[in-house]
Structure formats: structure tokens, C-alpha cells
Amino acid sequence: MNQNNDTQNKNIKEDCPVIKKNKNVKVWQEGAAVKITTGELAGAVAREGFVASMGGAGMTPAELEREMRIAREICPDGEIGVNLMYVAKDFHNVARVVQKLGARFIVLSAGYDSKILNCTGEYEDLKLEIIPKVAHPSLALRVLQSGVVKRIMLEGAGCGGHIGFSSIKNFISTEELVKLTFMRFATHLAKQVLGKNAPENEVQAFIEDVKNHREDYRKKYHVPELIAAGGINENNVQQIIDNGADHIANCLIFTICKESNAHINWKNMQFQADKRIFFESPVKGMIGSAIKNSFIDKYFELDDTGVYRFKATEKQRLATGRSIKSDFTDRCVTKCMEHDFCLKYSKDYLHPMCIFYRLEETAVAGNVDDGIVFTSENLNYIQKVARVNISAKEVIDYIKKYTYGTAE
């Protein structure tokens, strides 16, 4: 879609379907990493009554402290939290910083452990809510069985960035992820209440009753709320809620807002791209969702599964010693998440797939052909309903209309 003057100046469409009101559903603005969703956006979103989250990955504790102060200056009392990665070296320090400055929760991705969920051991001083983000029903059930989590975020394959799977064939849509997770939760609860040997017809009747009276069962049996994320829009939101989601989260449409810290070149690229592609990320070889650009063409080649993989010739060249160590997947999580292993070297020795550097290069510096440009399944959708540098307030009013049937 060409970003001409007409497109730049168009307003959000008013003709979206009016869906029945979902009074108890909260809408979340999910945090995007590498300094895209910072304090200005989080504060603006929270001020309008939505739940806001900053992307903590790629920010130092000092940077997060500054951004949390900005968010709280804009909205002192709103529900604001931070997305953090469990594997990050400075997770514990960052968690303390954001707690001190008034964060209400941490959305925890890239793993977790029982000590964090229970706030025990070295985490016993953490008093803010921990919300694990998972991409598979079995992981959600494991979190449920911990017995301490109030909310779980389910991120389906429609999301941007890292999708959470190493193969496209394993992708689970957000609709299906919510449906499967809800069924596992309800079945687990049925076995607890009715007994493991209860007749199948009683189990199914119980599950249906849980679906129709979620709020009652949650209060009685402490069942976590489910927050659905990943490619949610006006066309699938009601199905996702009907499948068992208590709340919904959006990310990409907020990253193009004027309050977002993303570079204008990065925002424009979200409107100029035809579709998203999948590439092999250095982060544990997971699949990433991005826009195809010159960087992808230079370092990647398409395989027969539909994924752009790091070129064998590049792997061999790196193994000769020009860059850091050997294979590009070896050290990214264990070393790059320390955030000082690669970046202390000059660019001549910087690994071409340093994920933090390549994401910041596009999103913050605006060099959109010299790194990775993450995007989501909603790429073409936002091109139809929004514009570059739209305000957070306009986006929120639009989401309210298709979620609640009104912008009020």
C-alpha cells in the first residue's frame, strides 16, 4: 500500500462491525521490545482506561526507570506494567526498578520458574503480579497447576516478533490456542470437582457450565484469567472471546501511533509491505515474523518449508573467525541477553544476526534495510483501518467500537 497524502490523512474507518458488548473484557496494549513501546505510549494508553505495557527487553534498568517515570507523569493511577524476558541477565534488577516506580505487573516471556511465580527465594521481595506469556496449551496448564497465577497471556501465531515455535507446521492460531487452553482448564477443573472417573456426559455438562459462568467458577476455584494476544482484530475478536478469552491484547496497531517511539521509517514500512514472512531467528532457532527487506535478502534464503533460513555460506564465513565464535544460534540467548557480549565489539566484529542490534537498527535508528523489521499477521489489516502516526486515543476508540460496540 503506497503511503500517499490521501492515505496519510485518512481517518480510522467508522464502518467496522458492531459486536455485542463484552463488559468485563479488558483491552491490553502489549509491550513491544527494543524501545518501541516506552513511557509516552504506555501513559497515553493507560490514561484512556486500557491496560498498558512497556517493552522492557533492550532497555537498561536506568532507561526503564526513566520511561516508567514518564508513563506515571502522564497517568499516575493507570494499570501499567512491563514485558520482560526471563532469560535476561538483569531481569531481577529491572523487576525491582519497575516495581519501585509503580508497575502493576510483569508480563514474563522466554521462560519462567516456580520461584518467580510464587515470589519466593531471591524473588520474595517482588510484590507485583507476574503474568506468564505462553504459546501452547500444555504450558498454560502447567502454569495453572502452580496455583498462584491470576492471569496468563496466550500468544498465538498471529503475533509479531518471535512466535514461539521452531516450525511453521506447529503454529497454533490465537483462536485455537484460546479454545484448546480453555478446554484443558475446564477439563482439569472438572476432574478436580467431579472426580477422575466421572462419566463423560457429566464432564461435558460441567465444561459447558464453566463456559457459560466463567466468572463464578473463577472466583470459586481460583482459575486464572486468559489474556489472548496475537493478530486480534475486529474480524476474530468475538470468536476469541467466545472460545474462552477473558481479555484481549493488541500490539502492532499501537506501535504505529504517534506516541510510539518507533522511527517514522519503521512505521512507514508497516504500511508499504505486502505481507509478512517467517525467518529463523538466532534466539533458539525460533521462527520470527518480519517484513522482507534487503537484510533478509542478503543473509537468508527461503527453504521448502516457507521459512527464510540463515545462508549456509554466511554460517561458513562466520566460522572462519571474522566474527564472534561459530554458529549463529550458539550463543544468542546465553550471551546476547547479557547485553554486553556483542555490543562491546566494533561493528566490524558484530555478528550480523545480533538480534538486539538488528532490531534497534530498524525500529529506533530507522535503517529499515539494515536489520529485522518485526510485524504481525495484522499487517494488512492495519493498512486498511489506520494511518502512520495516528493517535493512541483514536486507536483506542476504534478498538472499543469493535470490542464493546461503542467508543464511550
Domains of the chain: 5-259+380-404 (3.20.20.70), 274-374 (no CATH)
Count of alpha carbons within 13 Å of 321, Cβ hemisphere only? 0
Q: CB-hemisphere CA count at 13 Å for 181?
A: 38
- Give yes or no for residue 11 having a pLDDT over 70: no
Instruction: Compute the average pLDDT of residues 215-227.
Output: 87
Contact call for residues 128 and 154 (beta carbons, < 8 A): no
Alpha helices in 285-370 (DSSP H): 294-299, 312-317, 355-363
Nearest CA among 100, 93, 87, 152 for reference residue 123: 93
Cell 498498558 maps to which residue? Answer: 52
The dihedrals phi and psi of 140, each to the nearest 5 degrees, come to -60, -40
Give the distance from CA 53 to its chain's centroid.
Answer: 10
Q: How many CB atoms lie within 10 A of CB 329?
A: 17
**Mean pLDDT calculated for residue range 207-211:** 90
- Burial (0-12, 13-18, 19+ Cβ within 10 Å), 348: exposed
Residues comprising the chain, all counted = 408
Confidence band, pLDDT 50/70/90 cuts, at residue 316: low
> For residue 58, what pLDDT is reported?
80
Instruction: Indicate the SS3 state at residue 362.
Output: helix
Q: Is the pTM of this model over 0.85?
A: yes
Euclidean distance between CA atoms 134 and 374, whole angstroms:
19
Using the predicted structure, report yes or no on whether residue 339 has a pLDDT greater than 50.
Answer: no
- Of the pLDDT bands very low, low, confident and very high (cuts 50, 70, 90), residue 1 is very low
Is residue 327 pLDDT above 60, yes or no?
no
* Residues 6 or more apart in contact with residue 6 via CB below 8 angstroms: none
Q: What is the pLDDT of residue 36?
A: 93
The distance from CA 38 to its chain's CA centroid, rounded to whole angstroms, is 14
Chain position carrying cell 463456559: 211
Greatest distance between any 2 Cα atoms in the chain: 66
What pLDDT is recorded for position 353? Answer: 66
- Mean pLDDT value across residues 341-359: 59
Show the cell assigned to 346.
Answer: 566494533
For 14-18, 191-195, 207-211, 252-256, which range has the lowest pLDDT when averaged over its residues? 14-18
Residue 324 predicted with pLDDT over 80: no
Residue 131, φ and ψ in degrees, nearest 5: -115, 105
Mean pLDDT confidence for 106-124: 74
pLDDT higher than threshold 80 for residue 16: no
The mean pLDDT of 36-42, rounded to a whole number, is 95
| Highest mean pLDDT of the ranges 53-57, 171-175, 403-407 | 171-175
Distance separating alpha carbons of residues 95 and 93, to the nearest angstrom: 5
Which of these ranges, 98-102, 118-122, 304-308, 382-386, has the smallest mean pLDDT? 118-122
Q: Report strand pairing: 300-302 vs 307-310.
A: antiparallel
Q: Over range 170-187, report the average pLDDT.
A: 94
**What is the C-alpha separation between 376 and 357, in angstroms, rounded?**
20
Confidence (pLDDT) at 209: 93
Radius of gyration of the chain (CA): 21
Whether the Cβ atoms of residue 259 and residue 392 lie closer than 8 Å to each other: yes
**48 neighbors 396 (Cβ within 8 angstroms):** yes
Average pLDDT rounded to a whole number, residues 106-111: 82
Rounded Cα distance between 230 and 377, Å, is 8
- The DSSP line for 171-203 is ---HHHHHHHHHHHHHHHHHHHHH-TT--HHHH
pLDDT of residue 89: 61
Q: What is the mean pLDDT of residues 297-322?
A: 76
What is residue 149's predicted lDDT score, i.e. its pLDDT?
85
At residue 223, the pLDDT reads: 85
pLDDT at 117 over 80: no
Which pLDDT score, from 0 to 100, does residue 116 have?
A: 75
Mean of all residue pLDDT scores within the chain: 83
pLDDT band at 110 (very low <50, low <70, confident <90, very high): confident
Whole-angstrom Cα distance, residue 322 to residue 358?
A: 18
Task: Please give the pLDDT value at position 201.
Answer: 93
- Please answer whether residues 128 and 99 qualify as being in contact, where contact means their C-beta atoms are separated by less than 8 angstroms: yes
Nearest to 50 by CA among 70, 73, 25: 25
Q: Please state, in angstroms and rounded to a whole number, the distance separating the CA atoms of residues 398 and 15.
A: 10
* pLDDT for the residue 306: 94
Query: In angstroms, rounded to a whole number, what is the distance separating the alpha carbons of residues 316 and 327?
Result: 8
Contact 94, 56 (CB under 8 A): yes
d(CA 63, CA 83): 14
What does the pLDDT read at residue 21?
58
pLDDT at 141 over 80: yes
pLDDT of 322: 44
Question: Is the distance from CB of 131 to CB of 155 less than 8 angstroms?
Answer: no
Q: State the pLDDT confidence band at 333, using cuts at 50, 70 and 90.
A: very low
| Per-residue pLDDT band at 102 (split at 50, 70, 90) | confident
- 382 pLDDT more than 50: yes
Above 90 in pLDDT, residue 152?
yes
Whether 334 shows a pLDDT value over 50: the answer reads no
Q: CA-CA-CA-CA torsion for 90, 96, 98, 101, nearest 10 degrees?
A: -150
Residue 261: the pLDDT is 95
User: Which position has the higher pLDDT, 257 or 280?
Assistant: 257
Alpha-carbon gap, residue 316 to 330, rounded angstroms: 14
pLDDT(289) > 60: yes
Please name the amino acid found at residue 216.
D
